[in-house]
Amino acid sequence: MIKRENRLKKNRHFQYIYRKGEVKQTRYMTIVYVRTHIKPFKVGFSVSKKVGNSVVRSKIKRQMTETFNLIQTLVNPNYNYVFIAKLGINTLPFLEIKKEMEKCLKKAKLING
């Protein structure tokens, strides 16, 4: 479980990262990240209504959260992150979502290993 202090919750925090952050994309996922000097780092997940209804979007967010949970120790803690799911991610199995997230982080050079 991602700790409460590591979650992005407020819309203004998401908007700040969207405005000031850098973007890297893969086929099914986009990452927006911005350097932070405040510890601990924050992470948020976003799924568009284009992906599916509320049940599908919630499922995708839960899967993305759990995926981040598994690789959290490898991620650079000096950045805040927003992961955005793209159309078609709802057809992927859990392990493919994990690979997509790792690919996004590697593209941005934010993961060790």
CATH number, residue 52: 3.30.230.10
SS3 sequence, 48-81? Answer: CCCCCCHHHHHHHHHHHHHHHHHHHHHECCCEEE
Domain limits for position 9: 4-107
> How does pLDDT run across 62-79, given as a tens digit for each residue?
999 999 999 998 999 999
Residue 83's H or E segment, with its range, is strand 79-85
The per-residue pLDDT for range 85-111, each reduced to its tens digit, is: 999 999 999 999 999 999 999 999 998
> Is residue 112 situated within a structural domain?
no
The SS3 assignment for 30 reads: strand
Q: What is the CA radius of gyration of the chain?
A: 13
Q: How many domains does the chain have?
A: 1
